[in-house]
Structure 1
Amino acid sequence: MAEHWRIAIGQLSQETNHFNPVPTTEADFAASGILRGDAVLHGWGEARREVPGFLEVLRAAGHEAVPTLAAWCPAAGGPVSRAAFEALLGGLLDRLRAAGPVDGVLLALHGAMMLEDSDDAESEIIARVRAELPPGTPVGVSLDLHGHVTPAMLQPDVFFVAYREYPHIDMQETGERVARLMLDRLAGRRRPVMALAKRPMVVSPVGARTPDPPLSDLVALARAAEAAGEALHVGLFPVQPWLDVPDLGFAVLVTADGDAGRAQAVADRIAEAAWAMRNRFGHGLIPLEEAIRIGLAGPGTTVIGDGGDAPTGGSPADNPSVLRALLAAGADRHDRPILLTMSDPQAAAEAHAAGIGACRGFRLGHAHTPGEPVVAEAEVVTLHDGRFALRDGGATGSVIDHGPSAVLRIGALRIALRSAPGNEWDTNVYRSLGLEPSEAAAVFVKSPAHFRVAYGPLAARVVAADTPGPCAGNTARVPWTRVTRPLWPLDDV
């Protein structure tokens, strides 16, 4: 009779942006729905994420998934408060203790969670989970490829598997890979060991997409090492660039079968290849004013990335620079709609209070960040509760809650106004509010790269604008102060 294993399941993931002045609290996790106990097994709906990937593999193999707690933030944000971290990790650990003996633990982490008092939340999560387990109990961890991998994360009996894709279209598949390796480890078919290599370079996410050179060249090296049997999994970590921490850099994390020396050799080889091609990484950004000119002049729909204000990179999404530039260019007089978004809870509340059809003055933008809002007369044309499911590639099926939302019309401009920042990868950001991107002259999306999956098929052209904000894709705009120097491209190394 085959062995029956009990494997605990948990998630605690958030991506930090040190240049977002708004701290992340437990309420930010709760906005996306914290799952506890049996809800971890059944509360995902149609979401294609890491934990559903864990569950799919365990169920298919006939093993028991032991639920603890799953908490995540759909948008990145400021450092997590210690109180929120203790409440959530404490809840996960309480359920792990109450579960009784388990044969292994599967965790969905991000890799770039920072706390108000710590630069390495993931190593603390892993250490505190391991402290609840008998020595030798394996822990399998999924990571986002924008994680900041530290040596402290590489602890005994712990293995990691990273997303392979950016844009992130393989979240569930990553969970499945982790779970399959856990079953191989428990059956004695594999003995996963880890090795890490880093280089002092930071690349813009705008120019570091896995399907495109130069990152695709490194992906090919990683897959070749796996195909040759040198590694079970090779994780490339171009890193979340909006962290202000020592030892920030490009990481290669290798999982090998029992041979740590071989794992280190693979990690070193691919990290050195990344370093050698550092000058090939660019951002491809164009000035905002030029992006607007292209959008107003071209036939079809121009999709414009507003990556500097991307909530999935850690911005409050309240920067009105795009709106201000559109008004200055006279885009409100265009003969076709132009779509943009903004997070401003006060303005959203005022729109709901005024009602559909109301025309009034609004102060739009800088609800959370310092700066001067745009004052404009607008008509309220749509009101919405802000809840919708992602429909396009990525975390498909995940439910997003932007809070009370509205569409404001300023001539040709249509502002998708919401109360809270959230995922903008998806066309349902607009379609849920009755706006059709394919009918617009220009569509602005607060995302550095992932938006290309959803919006690319409907776009006549896609451009990325050099916009300001906590997620500036132009690394010359990033105000690092704590990073270890020298660091490319800050330094000529």
Structure 2
Amino acid sequence: MTSSPPPRRLRIGIGGMAIESSQFCPHRSTYDDFRVTRDEALLARYTWTRSDGDLAELVEWVPLVHAVALPGGPVERATYDRIKAELTVRVRESGPLDGLVYDIHGAMSVVGMDDAEADLNDAVRAATGPGTLISAAMDLHGNVSRRFADRLDLLTAHRLAPHEDAWETRERAARKLVERLVSGRGRPYRAWVQIPVLLPGEKTSTRLEPARSLYGRLASVEALDGVVDAAMWVGYAWADEERCRAAVVVTADDPELAVSQAELLAREYWEARRDFVFVGPTGDADTCIARAVGSAARPFLISDSGDNPTAGGAGDLAYMLGRLLAHEELASGRVTALHPGVTDPKAVAACFDAGVGAEVKLSVGGQVSAGTGRHAEPYELTGTVTALEGSSSSGSGSDASRGNPAYDAGGRSAAVTSGGVTVVLTERRKPFHTRADFGTLDPLSYDLVVVKIGYLEPELYAMAADWLLALTPGGVDQDLLRLGHHKVRRPLYPFDDEGFEEADLRAVVL
């Protein structure tokens, strides 16, 4: 008696391209801005690809290529074409794939293109052929056009903002793909509907209502018999394309069930549109600084939200630095503030040339944003170099420890103190999200910490004795109405409000 051969392992590829691109930011994202990962290094990004994991007997993971960058301005066309070409070539050369885990963002813009990710999907689908199931893991701040969704078989997104579930989302996309392939049920139905609402992430945090309840509902929809997944996107507010708006996709084996649940979620989102509020108390820069200085809470954190590099801002505006030093208590040193993250490689080089303890006169900021009219004028700073730090490209913080190169700490930095204000100048655009990002500087030793960020990431949130969201200018200005959108499809809330009480929320089955 001969034994039957073991079942064939599924061949599932992993790849993608991820960046969030503000079209109101003068920065341009080039190939050097991306961390490109291949082969075993790509598999090492994920816990569920391990050879001793529970999926090992079922799946042969096929690493393709993955490129990810810190959010910034639109991607240069040559960079996009280069990464797209490598991804599609590797798909074709990998041989037949049963499935593809497609690790993307959803808010990439490319110079000269509309809906670049739909173009990427077209190319990937052409490379895989029609028999491969594609499961996309996305950011909830992505945009989901019909053309984009039509090329995918499964698509899901984060359910938390801040994105504490980012790695869980990727694993969910992978496991649902494996489940689908093992079951042999083929492609499910996707009910897709866009909602004519476009809000910034700082108004749609799941820490607050109504986003908390709206996103909290997704797990219960997913648990319904016959439903594969339920996902909701708020869209990306700092791009100016027709696809930019909220969206819902419910994936199910029953198309009528998918449609009914998608339309119900879309209706709930639409009816709650005026209930979304900023995730924290807000004010202009001077108001926030005055309130923070006058508070007894220490450290008091302020978000310089308009120039947030992790939303797509240039990160080079010295506007907030100027406002800090315009306050007498801070200029005199009676109150201290730490302001990290003004990108200016020339100023950093001058500080390294001068050395720690030297007095320097610097023209700070505006290296990329000069001439944009968004308060991009350099600030003439006189101060003392108080710290110099070189860094490797090993990354920093919790995201880097999970292999997320979008938060790479590459480049040198210099701290300069003027009065009570210490500004950290960086050679490259760099977020400050974790205690490790501050290097040798201790943010807890300052009265104020003013970070180029929107809502506070978990470590900053835990650090803050109190917090304000400063509505500052920049490429990711929270005041969408003053940015100048003109390509988004209208009517669209909040650009249109009065007399705009009804919306077409009929779902389309894909």
Asked if TM exceeds 0.5, the reply is yes
Aligned length: 477
* Runs of at least 5 residues in structure 2 that lack an aligned partner in the other structure: 1-5, 371-375, 501-510
SS in 2 for 1:60: coil
1:338 aligns with 2:337: yes
Alignment check: 8 A CA contact 2:309 2:315 kept: yes
Query: What aligned pairs does 1:221-236 form with structure 2 within 5 A after superposition?
Result: 221-229=217-225, 231-236=227-232
SS in 1 for 2:310: helix
CA distance in 1, matches of 2:356, 2:87: 44
1:390 aligns with 2:388: no
CA distance in 2, matches of 1:427, 1:19: 30
Deviations 1:2-60 (A, max 9, x none): 4411211112111110001122111111xxx3112333124x4xxxxxxx155259943
CA distance in 2, matches of 1:435, 1:452: 18
Deviations 1:333-362 (A, max 9, x none): 233531112111111111112222211100
Alignment check: 8 A CA contact 1:195 1:263 kept: yes
1:429 to 429, 437, 440: 437
Deviations 1:408-445 (A, max 9, x none): 11122111110121333323232x1x111122111111
Letter of the structure 2 residue corresponding to residue 333 of structure 1: S
CA positional deviation for 1:296: 1.4
CA positional deviation for 1:301: 0.9
CA positional deviation for 1:136: 2.0
Larger radius of gyration between Structure 1 and Structure 2: 2
1:65 aligns with 2:70: no
SS in 2 for 1:38: helix
1:287 aligns with 2:293: no
Letter of the structure 1 residue corresponding to residue 289 of structure 2: I
Alignment check: 8 A CA contact 1:170 1:394 kept: no
Query: What aligned pairs does 1:83-98 form with structure 2 within 5 A after superposition?
Result: 83-98=78-93
Alignment check: 8 A CA contact 1:53 1:172 kept: no
Alignment check: 8 A CA contact 1:105 1:140 kept: yes
Change (3 A) 1:483 1:135: closer
1:301 aligns with 2:299: yes
Letter of the structure 2 residue corresponding to residue 474 of structure 1: D
CA positional deviation for 1:280: 0.8
CA distance in 2, matches of 1:211, 1:193: 31
1:261 aligns with 2:271: no
1:18 aligns with 2:20: no
CA positional deviation for 1:393: 7.3
Deviations 1:251-272 (A, max 9, x none): 112222x122321221111111
CA distance in 2, matches of 1:445, 1:77: 17
Deviations 1:427-466 (A, max 9, x none): 3232x1x1111221111111111x2411121211111111
Change (3 A) 1:156 1:485: closer
Aligned to 1:403: 411
Letter of the structure 2 residue corresponding to residue 476 of structure 1: L
1:55 aligns with 2:49: yes
1:35 to 16, 34, 37: 37
* Runs of at least 5 residues in structure 1 that lack an aligned partner in the other structure: 45-51
CA distance in 2, matches of 1:288, 1:463: 10
CA positional deviation for 1:325: 0.7
Deviations 1:454-488 (A, max 9, x none): 11212111111111101112223322121122211
CA positional deviation for 1:392: 4.7
Deviations 1:228-268 (A, max 9, x none): 33632221211110011124211112222x12232122111
1:128 aligns with 2:123: yes
Change (3 A) 1:54 1:128: farther
CA distance in 1, matches of 2:315, 2:302: 15
CA distance in 2, matches of 1:308, 1:490: 19
Alignment check: 8 A CA contact 2:397 2:433 kept: no
Alignment check: 8 A CA contact 2:236 2:245 kept: no
1:315 to 306, 313, 316: 313
Aligned to 2:452: 446
Change (3 A) 1:333 1:265: same
Sequence identity, in percent? 29
Alignment check: 8 A CA contact 2:125 2:151 kept: no
Deviations 1:378-400 (A, max 9, x none): 11121122446433579756451
Letter of the structure 1 residue corresponding to residue 206 of structure 2: T
Letter of the structure 1 residue corresponding to residue 343 of structure 2: S
1:210 to 206, 211, 214: 206
1:145 to 136, 140, 145: 140
CA distance in 1, matches of 2:36, 2:92: 19
Alignment check: 8 A CA contact 2:91 2:128 kept: no
Letter of the structure 1 residue corresponding to residue 325 of structure 2: L
Change (3 A) 1:133 1:402: closer
CA distance in 1, matches of 2:94, 2:325: 58
Alignment check: 8 A CA contact 1:168 1:394 kept: no
CA distance in 1, matches of 2:274, 2:401: 32
CA positional deviation for 1:199: 1.5
